[in-house]
Structure formats: C-alpha cells, structure tokens
C-alpha cells in the first residue's frame, strides 16, 4: 500500500492588508517546491473553514494566476475573526488529521499567533504529528519580536502619500486639518505620516500616538501655537489616543444643551474639531478626515520592499516548517546591522508573539506630539521612495 500524501493547509485571518496575498503565494510556492509536502490546500475563512470543511486544493493553480493573486489586496482565501476555544481547537486539529494535514500555515496578526499556539497545543496533547507556523501580517506593525511586519510598509506608504497630498491641500486653503489613522494600541501607522514632511514648514505639524497620554489642553494650545507660527496646522493622530486614565478620547462624552450625556458618535475627528472651535473660535477653518479601511487595501500605494518581504516570509515559513523534520513557530524579520537595508528571517516561538502588542519604543518618539528622526530613518526603507514635490520661488512684485 502506498503511503498517504503529506498535506499542508494555508489560512488567512484578521484584517487584510495590501500584501497578505504575497505571503499566501509565498507559502504555496514554498509548499510546491518542498520535498516533504505532496499537496497544498487552502482553507476559506481560516479556522472557521476547517470546522466547516471549506478546504480547496491549491496544488494545481497556474503560476500566472498565483502571480496575479499576489498583486491583489485583501485575503484571497477570505478571512475570519474567530479565536477558537479549547474545544474548537481540538475539533480543528482532528479535522486536519482526517485530511492528512501535517503542516498548517496561518497568516495573521497577534490574535492569529495565539490561535496557532492553541492549535499546536491541541495537536501535542493528542500526540498528532502537526506543525503550525504563523506567518505575520498587520498594518498596525504591533507584533512582538519582529523588526516590522509585512503589510505595515504599504499601509505606511499610503499614510505618508496621503499626508503629502493633504499638506498641499492645507497650504492651498489654510486652516486646521486633523487626520485620524488606524491603530488602537500602537502608533506605528500614525507615526509614518512624519515621512510626508519635506521641510521644517511642512505638515504633519503634530503627531499623536497611543504610546503617549493625550492631554486635551496640550493639544488645543499646540494647535493654537502652530496656527500662529504657520497660519495652518496639519495633525495626524491615532484612533486609539486616550487620556491618562486610559479612556479613549473617541469615547469622550459631553453634555448637550439639555444636560444629557451625548456620545460623539465614533467621530473622533468631529469631536476634536468641536473642541478646537470652542478653544480657537467658531470661525476657524477646521476639517477632519478618518482614513478608514483605505489604509489597508488601497492598490495604488503598495511598497515594493513590503511586497517582496511578504512573499519571502511565506517561503521562509515553509522552509522552517519542513527543516529538521518539522518545526513550529512564527516567522520574524530581523534587520541586519549596517548602512544598507537588508533583512534575514528567523523562527520565533509562538508564545513570544501570541497576544503580545509591540508599541513604539521611546527612542522613536519625541516629546508629546512628534516622532524622532531615528524613527523616520528606520521607516524609510520599508516605505520606499516617495515623490518629490516642487515649490515656486518667491519673487514678489512691489505694489503698483
């Protein structure tokens, strides 16, 4: 009797990114080339799809199709937010066992790393031969251990480009502009707005991240100072900014004219504009934008380095998994020392990433509302070259 084929399964979870399918294709290619793997399956909607028997065969996908899928934002295998409990985890690994699956590659963030760990433990408990490798992705860049995460560079590129354009808009029609950026607990994505600055005059003039407590009075007086200095003010801030007690500013309550508590409707930007009008005068031109989901899937702002690394973490995941007869863990990116930007891939223990949040270190921040030059230097290679804009000279004509 021939031995049964050895199978690998790939799933995707959490919020998608612009390059998450690069990782998917990297895993597929790695599996097709790996000696120890005979067939590669995908599962729709992550672990939910394993419970629901939603497996598809990826072994015979055309290389051209895979390359086109790699360039497509969003999760080609569809995503899921499910964090299985122990009973579900046991059901998942039993289903994988029935399908002869020896390797599970799970692409996602820190929740996904936790699920991967749970599945690994469930398999170990029943002495099932299963390796689980977590393939990192997140626009928030909040995964532990790794220097940075695939998905972040492209989202950061979107935020930087958006601020480059918005800066020109704000120069054209002066006023206060507040941009609300994704990031509940970590300010990495908001901080990338700093790359948009071309000179000391350029916005964003103020950058607020959740790593610092947000003090409304400091914000209002900083905007006021900025208006006096530049005649305008562009502010980038995280949706997750909070006060010293940890309460989200977006959930601030205020009394309406009737003395009733009023929710600001999720509109952090609107709330801050109202505060600014109260402090600086109702006549001030003040606008807010919330960048929303465009940050994670806009097709016109993909970073080449990010796309390449996303592919490579997928391939690396397979290499690690089949090495030494089978290993589990999470693929992390380490930056090589030296001037030139180079990285290597390593495998970390799932325990070191599961449910951990990496916030920005102090050396990347500067005072209550800025990032440091060190941070921008660290970030630049991940985002790639940005356009260089032009400015007219100033040759004033004397009054006639």
Backbone φ and ψ of 42, nearest 5°: -110, 155
d(CA 315, CA 41): 15
**Both tokens of residue 71?**
């360039």
Is 282 among the residues that bind its own copies (CB under 8 A)?
no
Contact with its own copies (CB under 8 A) among 63, 86, 221, 266: 266
Tell me how far apart the alpha carbons of residues 302 and 307 are, in angstroms, rounded to a whole number: 7
Taking the C-alpha atoms of residue 213 and residue 215, their distance in angstroms, rounded to an integer, is 6
Please provide residue 313's backbone torsions phi and psi, each rounded to the nearest 5 degrees. -65, -30
Given phi > 0 = left and psi -120 to 50 = alpha, else beta, which region is 114? alpha
90-119 residues in contact with its own copies (CB under 8 A) are: 95, 98-100
Q: How many residues bind its own copies (CB under 8 A)?
A: 84
Nearest Cα neighbor of 363 from 378, 384, 342 is 378
Determine which residue in the list 51, 69, 220, 327 makes contact with its own copies, applying CB under 8 A.
69
> Can you tell me which of 125, 169, 201, 304 binds its own copies, judged by CB under 8 A?
169
- Select 56 or 349, whichever has its Cβ closest to its own copies: 56
* Binding-site member from 5, 63, 165, 373 for its own copies (CB under 8 A): 165
Q: How far apart are CA 248 and CA 391, in angstroms?
A: 39
Q: Which residue has the tokens 């909040």?
A: 142
Binder of its own copies out of 19, 32, 78, 116 (CB under 8 A): 78
Q: Is the dihedral of CA 148, 346, 143, 300 positive or negative?
A: positive
Alpha helix positions (H), 281-338: 294-297, 304-322
Position 81 contacts its own copies (CB under 8 A): yes
Q: Is residue 68 part of the contact set for its own copies (CB under 8 A)?
A: yes
- Residues 295-334 touching its own copies, rule: CB under 8 A, are 296-301
Minimum gap (Å) between residue 97 Cβ and its own copies: 9
Residue pair 44/78 in contact (Cβ under 8 Å)? The answer is yes
Does 272 interact with its own copies (rule: CB under 8 A)? no
Least separation in angstroms between residue 84's CB and its own copies is 17
Give the shortest CB-139-to-its own copies separation in angstroms.
Answer: 11
Active-site residue flag, 140: yes
Instruction: Please identify which residue in 287, 308, 356, 380 interacts with its own copies, judged by CB under 8 A.
Output: 287
Residues numbered 369 to 388 that lie near its own copies (CB under 8 A) are 387-388
Q: Considering the complex, what minimum distance in angstroms separates the CB of residue 362 from its own copies? A: 31
Contact flag: residue 278 with its own copies (CB under 8 A): no
- Residue pair 210/189 in contact by the 8 Å Cβ criterion: no
58 binds its own copies (CB under 8 A): yes
199 near its own copies, rule: CB under 8 A: no
- Binding mask 172-191 toward its own copies (x if CB under 8 A, else -) reads xxx--x--------------
Unique residue bearing structure tokens 């500013």: 249
Three-class DSSP labels, 338-372: CCCCCEEEEEECHHHCCCCCCCCCHHHECCCCCEC
Asked whether position 255 contacts its own copies by CB under 8 A, the answer is no
**Which stretch, 200-208, 247-255, 347-355, 391-399, contacts its own copies (CB under 8 A)?**
391-399
Find the binding residues for its own copies in span 5-34 (CB under 8 A). Answer: 12, 15-16, 18
Catalytic residue among 85, 97, 140, 306: 140
Check binding of 35 to its own copies (CB under 8 A): no
Find out whether the peptide bond into 104 is cis, omega within 30 degrees of 0: no
List the one residue out of 121, 226, 382 whose CA is nearest residue 218. 226
205 lines the binding site for its own copies (CB under 8 A): no
Between residues 269 and 329, which has the closer beta carbon with respect to its own copies?
Answer: 269
| Count of alpha carbons within 13 angstroms of residue 264, beta-carbon side | 17
Residues 134-163 that bind its own copies (CB under 8 A): 158, 161-162
Contact 43, 7 (CB under 8 A): no
Measured from the CB atom, the residue of 297 and 372 that comes closer to its own copies is: 297
Query: Cβ(269)–Cβ(176) under 8 Å?
Result: no
Catalytic site positions:
140
């Amino acid at each position: 009797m021939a031995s049964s084929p050895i199978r690998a399964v790939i799933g995707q979870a959490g919020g998608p990114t612009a390059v998450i399918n690069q990782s998917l294709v990297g895993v597929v290619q790695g599996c097709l080339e790996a000696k120890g793997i005979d067939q590669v399956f995908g599962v729709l909607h992550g672990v939910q799809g394993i419970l629901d028997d939603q497996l598809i065969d990826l072994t015979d996908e055309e290389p051209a199709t895979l390359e086109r899928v790699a360039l497509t934002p969003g999760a080609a295998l569809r995503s899921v937010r499910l964090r299985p409990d122990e009973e579900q985890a046991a059901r998942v690994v039993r289903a994988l066992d029935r399908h002869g699956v020896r390797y599970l590659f799970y692409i996602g963030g820190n929740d996904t790393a936790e699920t991967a760990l749970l599945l690994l433990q469930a398999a170990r408990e029943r002495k099932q031969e299963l390796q689980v490798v977590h393939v990192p992705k997140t626009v928030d860049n909040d995964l532990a251990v790794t220097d940075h995460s695939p998905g972040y560079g492209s989202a950061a590129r979107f935020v930087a480009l958006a601020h480059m354009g918005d800066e020109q808009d704000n120069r054209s029609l002066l006023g206060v502009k507040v941009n609300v950026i994704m990031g509940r607990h970590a300010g990495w994505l908001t901080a990338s707005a700093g790359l948009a600055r071309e000179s000391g005059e350029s916005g964003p003039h103020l950058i607020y991240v959740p790593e610092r407590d947000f003090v409304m009075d400091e914000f209002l007086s900083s905007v006021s100072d900025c208006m006096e200095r530049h005649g305008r003010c562009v502010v980038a801030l995280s949706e997750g900014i909070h006060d010293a007690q940890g309460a989200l500013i977006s959930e601030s309550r205020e009394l309406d004219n009737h003395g009733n508590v009023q929710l600001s409707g999720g509109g952090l930007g609107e709330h801050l504009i109202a505060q600014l009008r109260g402090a600086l005068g109702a006549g001030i031109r003040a606008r807010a934008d919330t960048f929303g989901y465009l940050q994670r899937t806009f097709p016109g702002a993909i970073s080449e380095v990010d796309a390449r690394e996303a592919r490579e973490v997928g391939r690396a995941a397979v290499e690690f998994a089949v090495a030494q007869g089978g290993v589990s863990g999470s693929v992390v990116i380490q930056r090589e020392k030296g001037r030139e930007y180079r990285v290597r891939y390593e495998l970390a223990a799932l325990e070191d990433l599961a449910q951990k949040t990496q916030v920005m270190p102090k050396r990347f921040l500067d005072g209550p509302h800025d990032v440091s030059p060190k941070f921008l230097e660290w970030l630049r290679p991940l985002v790639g070259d940005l356009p260089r804009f032009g400015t007219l000279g100033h040759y004033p004509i004397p009054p006639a």
